[in-house]
């Protein structure tokens, strides 16, 4: 296995380079692994972030992604109140064509080469089985199957959904005042691992739901389970008459084509990178649409895997026991974080996205590295 750290002068050519602590290139001719691991900032603790596998068109494209995504994780982990820094890894290749156990085990060795500076997790193109393969070579991996007691560990998506639900509560209270969930109508795009459970939470609360997905089977399932749900064609979801739009499918759904169609008061959903460009946040502001920053509202999953990790390494950074209840309570605090974002945005007359960034920076910049986690 060839392991090489890219030099700062090589990285400086990339617009997304932000003084990252380290970007490591890994090539393993035996298994065909070609990957990059990015560690953006460890002021708060070791860098945690998922391992993405995509058929990137070039190494430069993979480096761009690892720089952007690892930086994003620094902000996300800081705002989520986790003593963790930001990191990410990317594997070049089509997961449906070249991924196998040997390749993922080699990736585990690559992760282990950083001796705990980087902790990996599932992301697009990787899943639980890949985490199990990596765990053969490293302890710095999360998203492993639960311990059989239903306590910590296992699929974090329902926890992400709970965080999104908490975020929608914060946003509707801010917009409409107390008891805002009564009579609320929410349009949910994407009924996957997160979106479906979000619908369950909202439905139980009596919220009216309009949903869409490209998979017919999941639409039939939701209609059977929640009979008064309205189903829309995917292309019509943006112009639905509803209070809240919850994008829970793909990134870049808030863009110059979709925003002009929107009559929502709030956008609050699970998807990563919801804004296609930075101008799209201004487009939302011009339409008086309250945007809940994606990385603040969708942090439930990372909080869940962080608890799993701290439990496994038997190191508790919190002043209370590492229980599932404590983890759920931590995810529930997303509601207060979002309230803080709204307040700062109003006080400083900035967008909610910029306010989230400033809050995150106030947490992780100038902070001494937390050691021993
Ligand atoms: P998923 O793949 O399980 O679900 C996505 C759903 O969107 C699928 O049902 C898919 O059919 C549907 N979809 C795809 N294209 C669509 C379209 N054009 N219109 C309507 N529906 C469409 O993914 P997930 O785990 O539920 O994650 C959803 C989003 O939330 C992703 O952007 C993901 O990155 C983000 N996210 C997930 C987690 C987590 O814990 N799973 C955590 C943080 C962020």
Q: What tens digit of pLDDT does each residue of 247-269 get?
A: 999 889 999 999 999 999 999 99
- Please check whether residue 313 lies inside any domain of the structure: no
pLDDT value of residue 181: 87
Residue at a domain's end among 76, 102, 134? 134
- Please check whether residue 139 lies inside any domain of the structure: no
DSSP 289: P
Considering the domain architecture, whether residues 164 and 87 belong to the same structural domain is answered as no
Q: How far apart are the first and last CA of the chain?
A: 28
> Which ligand 1 atom sits nearest the alpha carbon of residue 304?
40
Residues touching ligand 1 (Cβ under 6 Å) are 156-157, 160, 189-195, 212-215, 218, 234, 248-251, 270-272, 298, 301
The CA distance from 307 to 300, in Å, is 11
Q: Of the residues 124, 194, 252, which should be mutated to test ligand 1's pocket, given the most ligand atoms within 8 Å of the CB?
A: 194
Q: What is the CATH number of the domain that holds 228?
A: 3.40.50.720
Residue nearest to atom 30 of ligand 1 (CA): 271
pTM greater than 0.85: yes
Is-contact 77 43, C-beta < 8 A? no
Considering the domain architecture, whether residues 220 and 189 belong to the same structural domain is answered as yes
> Which ligand 1 atom sits nearest the alpha carbon of residue 161?
40
pLDDT value of residue 370: 44
Is residue 148's pLDDT more than 60?
A: no
CA of 107 to the centre of ligand 1 (A): 25
> Which ligand 1 atom sits nearest the alpha carbon of residue 192?
4
> Which ligand 1 atom sits nearest the alpha carbon of residue 215?
11
Residue at a domain's end among 134, 166, 200? 134
* Structural domains in the chain (count): 2
Considering the domain architecture, whether residues 161 and 280 belong to the same structural domain is answered as yes
**Could you tell me which of 83, 62, 80, 136 has the C-alpha nearest to residue 310?**
83
Q: What are phi and psi of 259, to 5 degrees?
A: -60, -45
Q: Which domain holds residue 259?
A: 157-298+335-364
- Please check whether residue 275 lies inside any domain of the structure: yes
β-strand 208-212 against 22-28: which pairing, if any?
Answer: unpaired
Considering the domain architecture, whether residues 34 and 102 belong to the same structural domain is answered as yes
CA of 248 to the centre of ligand 1 (A): 5
Q: What is the CATH number of the domain that holds 75?
A: 3.40.50.10860
| Structure-token match 């209070």, residue found | 243
CA of 291 to the centre of ligand 1 (A): 19
Joined together, the tokens standing for residue 86 give: 């930001």
Beta strands in the chain (DSSP E): 2-5, 22-28, 33-41, 47-48, 51-54, 85-92, 118-119, 185-189, 208-212, 230-231, 244-247, 266-267, 290-291
Considering the domain architecture, whether residues 117 and 256 belong to the same structural domain is answered as no
The CA distance from 288 to 265, in Å, is 7
Q: Which residues contact 195 (CB under 8 A, 6 or more apart)?
A: 161, 188, 189, 211, 213, 246, 248, 249, 270
Of the listed 76, 88, 136, 340, which one is catalytic?
A: 88
CA of 295 to the centre of ligand 1 (A): 14
Considering the domain architecture, whether residues 106 and 202 belong to the same structural domain is answered as no
Considering the domain architecture, whether residues 171 and 118 belong to the same structural domain is answered as no
Considering the domain architecture, whether residues 82 and 51 belong to the same structural domain is answered as yes
Residue nearest to atom 27 of ligand 1 (CA): 194
- Please check whether residue 359 lies inside any domain of the structure: yes
Residue at a domain's end among 86, 119, 134? 134
CA-to-CA separations, 335 to 80, 107, 161, 171, 199, in angstroms, rounded: 11, 36, 13, 8, 18
Active site residue 76: no
pLDDT value of residue 151: 83
- Please check whether residue 253 lies inside any domain of the structure: yes
Considering the domain architecture, whether residues 76 and 107 belong to the same structural domain is answered as yes
Is residue 163's pLDDT more than 90?
A: yes
Helix and strand numbers, DSSP H then E, in the chain: 14, 13
Q: What is the mean pLDDT of residues 341-369?
A: 91
β-strand 22-28 against 2-5: which pairing, if any?
Answer: antiparallel
Considering the domain architecture, whether residues 168 and 118 belong to the same structural domain is answered as no
Q: What tens digit of pLDDT does each residue of 23-68 get?
A: 999 999 999 999 999 999 999 999 999 999 999 999 999 999 999 9
Considering the domain architecture, whether residues 180 and 237 belong to the same structural domain is answered as yes
CA dihedral 206, 199, 335, 343 (to 10 degrees): -90
- Please check whether residue 247 lies inside any domain of the structure: yes
Residue nearest to atom 4 of ligand 1 (CA): 192
- Please check whether residue 327 lies inside any domain of the structure: no
The CA distance from 2 to 281, in Å, is 42
pLDDT value of residue 180: 83
Q: Of the residues 49, 131, 199, 249, which should be mutated to test ligand 1's pocket, given the most ligand atoms within 8 Å of the CB?
A: 249
- Please check whether residue 260 lies inside any domain of the structure: yes
CA of 227 to the centre of ligand 1 (A): 22
Considering the domain architecture, whether residues 129 and 169 belong to the same structural domain is answered as no
CA of 314 to the centre of ligand 1 (A): 32
User: Cβ of 325: how many Cβ atoms within 10 Å?
Assistant: 10
């Amino acid at each position: 296995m060839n392991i090489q750290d890219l030099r700062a002068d090589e990285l400086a050519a990339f617009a997304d380079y932000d003084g990252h602590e380290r970007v490591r290139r890994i090539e393993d001719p035996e298994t065909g692994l070609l990957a990059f691991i990015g560690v953006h900032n460890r002021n708060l603790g070791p860098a945690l972030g998922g391992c993405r596998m995509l058929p990137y068109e070039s190494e430069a494209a993979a480096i761009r992604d690892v720089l952007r995504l690892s930086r994003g994780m620094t902000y996300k982990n800081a705002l989520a109140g986790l003593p963790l820094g930001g990191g990410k890894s990317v594997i070049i290749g089509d997961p449906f064509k070249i991924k196998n156990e040997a390749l993922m085990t080699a990736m585990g060795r690559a992760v282990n080469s950083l001796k705990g500076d980087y902790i990996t997790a599932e992301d697009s193109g990787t899943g639980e089985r890949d985490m199990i393969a990596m765990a053969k070579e490293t302890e710095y991996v999360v998203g492993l199957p639960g311990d059989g007691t239903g306590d910590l560990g296992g699929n974090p998506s329902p926890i992400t959904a709970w965080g999104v639900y908490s975020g929608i509560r914060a946003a509707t209270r801010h917009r409409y005042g107390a008891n805002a969930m009564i009579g609320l109508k929410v349009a949910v795009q994407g009924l996957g691992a997160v979106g479906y459970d979000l619908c369950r939470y909202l439905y139980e609360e009596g919220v009216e739901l309009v949903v869409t997905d490209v998979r017919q089977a999941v639409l039939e399932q939701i209609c059977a389970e929640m009979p008064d749900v309205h189903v829309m064609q995917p292309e019509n979801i943006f112009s639905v008459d509803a209070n809240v739009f919850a994008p829970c499918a793909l990134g870049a759904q808030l863009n110059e084509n979709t925003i002009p169609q929107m009559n929502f008061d709030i956008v609050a959903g699970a998807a990563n990178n919801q804004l296609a460009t930075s101008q799209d946040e201004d487009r939302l502001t011009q339409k008086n649409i309250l945007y809940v920053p994606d990385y603040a509202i969708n942090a439930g999953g990372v909080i869940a895997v962080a608890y799993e990790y701290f439990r496994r390494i038997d190191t508790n950074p919190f002043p209370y026991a590492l229980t599932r209840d404590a983890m759920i309570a931590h995810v529930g605090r997303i509601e207060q974080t979002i309230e803080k974002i709204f307040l700062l945005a109003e006080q400083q007359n900035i967008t909610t996205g910029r306010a989230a960034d400033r809050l995150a920076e106030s947490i992780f910049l100038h902070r001494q590295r937390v050691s021993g986690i």
